[in-house]
Structure 1
Amino acid sequence: MNLALFDLDNTLLATDSDFEWAQFLIGQGVLDREVQEAKNIEFYAQYQAGTLDIDAFLDFQLQPLSRHDRRQLDAWHAEFMTRRIRPNITRQARDLVERHRAAGDLLAIVTATNSFVTGPIAREFGISHLIATIPAQDCRSGRHTGKPTGLPAFRAGKIDRVEAWLESIGTWWGSFPQSYFYSDSHNDLPLLSLVSHPVAVDPDATLEAHAGQQGWPIISLR
């Protein structure tokens, strides 16, 4: 059994679920378009440039979850899946996941996007293991607090989170003859550099150049 790890946004998805969720809420009138859209675009540009302040971004991203009860959030998310996510899952992405599943590999999505947004997307792919940034919840009411809990699954934090997950299921890197990680972003270079089979998927310019220098495969799921 090998280990197959997948980034989500702009890798398995032909879009960014973080960005799309905020835009969806703006379209629903939940967030103010004039203020929130500009901030959403700014944060996305910072992510692409490798200058994102993850704490500032999570404060922006998670605050809307704290203002609404879970039933309303789940209803919005169901519509979000229909309108924004499923149309951006390509046959090539589904086939890649299925090839690894058919080979008997252990599959996980590893993403900086929070688990409220990404949990249903992981289930859409039939992937039961999700390593994502975790939004904190009040243990009594179940409402989101608007803050993250634990280490965000971002940049080198993805390595820490993956290793903690592997330990929790009684394994480690050496348990697998081969390990794969698929990503589009230079922000994922720490984890890409750790696995035995890094794969650049529709990569940004920085990752594409690095992959070319290192002789890593470059593929498209579009």
Structure 2
Amino acid sequence: MKLALFDLDHTLIPIDSDHAWGEFATRIGWADPVEFKRRNDAFYEQYKAGTLDIHEYIRFTTEPVRRHGPGASAEAHTRFMREVVGPAITPQARALVEAHRKAGEQIAIVTATNEFVTRPIAHSFGVQELIAVELARGPGGWYSGDIAGTPSFREGKVTRVAEWLAARGRGWGDVDITFYSDSRNDLPLLEKVQHPVATNPDDTLRATALARGWRILELFKEQQ
């Protein structure tokens, strides 16, 4: 089985969807414009530095959604897709996914961003298989602010992909995997697969890719 895995933020789309959702939530009045932005920016810097506490971040970033409930949140996300994410998706990114699809490969997006933010984005690429941070639900059936299971972050991506494969009766030796990512945070999974592709890589990942002879793809520069 040939499998094409894609990170999402700064890999398939040239924005961080989690951070962008926080900015959008602030813009529509769902969060304090000063304090939320300060904390959102700080968490984003921690992510880029590889020091993010994913549990703390999920409690923070889902607070506006938890407070407004499923109906209003779904409506807000539709607007977020229309105003922020949709315009950011490039023909080059769609073509890359489509090339793997036409080659008969199974496609999945593997992201450290939570399922609420990312599932509609995955669907916009025609990708049904999403491995994202799963959100636990409280007694009322809505998000509690906790993470369900292993977060798909850093080493957790390896665990979650292994679980995904096991659910289909397969292991690492049964698949030929290409994985596209921009981030140093994804080195554990990049090192696990047969075909790592450093895509729009950060400085640390670029240096690693050059040292190990990994393919480097500048997906967004190719549109300029």
TM-score, normalised by the number of residues in structure 1: 0.96
CA contact (8 A) 1:109 1:129 kept: yes
The residue type paired with residue 55 of structure 1 is H
Structure 2 residue runs of 5 or longer lacking an equivalent are none
Deviation at 1:171, TM superposition (A): 1.7
Deviation at 1:62, TM superposition (A): 2.0
Q: Tell me the residue number matched to 2:128.
A: 128
Identity of aligned residues (%): 49
Q: Tell me the residue number matched to 2:17.
A: 17
Q: Tell me the residue number matched to 1:163.
A: 162
Q: Following the alignment from structure 1 to structure 2, what is the Cα–Cα distance between the partners of residues 21 and 193?
A: 30
Q: Tell me the residue number matched to 1:221.
A: 219
Alignment of 1:26-175 (within 5 A): 26-138=26-138, 141-175=140-174
Deviation at 1:142, TM superposition (A): 2.7
Q: Cα RMSD over matched residues?
A: 1.0
Q: Following the alignment from structure 1 to structure 2, what is the Cα–Cα distance between the partners of residues 135 and 8?
A: 18
Q: Following the alignment from structure 2 to structure 1, what is the Cα–Cα distance between the partners of residues 216 and 19?
A: 24
CA contact (8 A) 2:198 2:209 kept: yes
Deviation at 1:170, TM superposition (A): 1.6
Q: The residue matched to 1:165 in structure 2 has which SS?
A: helix
Deviation at 1:107, TM superposition (A): 0.7
CA contact (8 A) 1:62 1:135 kept: no
The residue type paired with residue 169 of structure 2 is G
Q: Following the alignment from structure 2 to structure 1, what is the Cα–Cα distance between the partners of residues 51 and 143?
A: 27
Deviation at 1:65, TM superposition (A): 2.2
Q: Following the alignment from structure 1 to structure 2, what is the Cα–Cα distance between the partners of residues 112 and 50?
A: 12
Q: Following the alignment from structure 2 to structure 1, what is the Cα–Cα distance between the partners of residues 141 and 92?
A: 37
CA contact (8 A) 2:10 2:182 kept: yes
Kindly provide the CA deviation profile for residues 60-83 of structure 1, in whole angstroms up to 9, marking residues without a partner as x: 112222112211000000000011
The residue type paired with residue 114 of structure 1 is N
Structure 1 residue runs of 5 or longer lacking an equivalent are none
Q: Number of aligned pairs?
A: 220
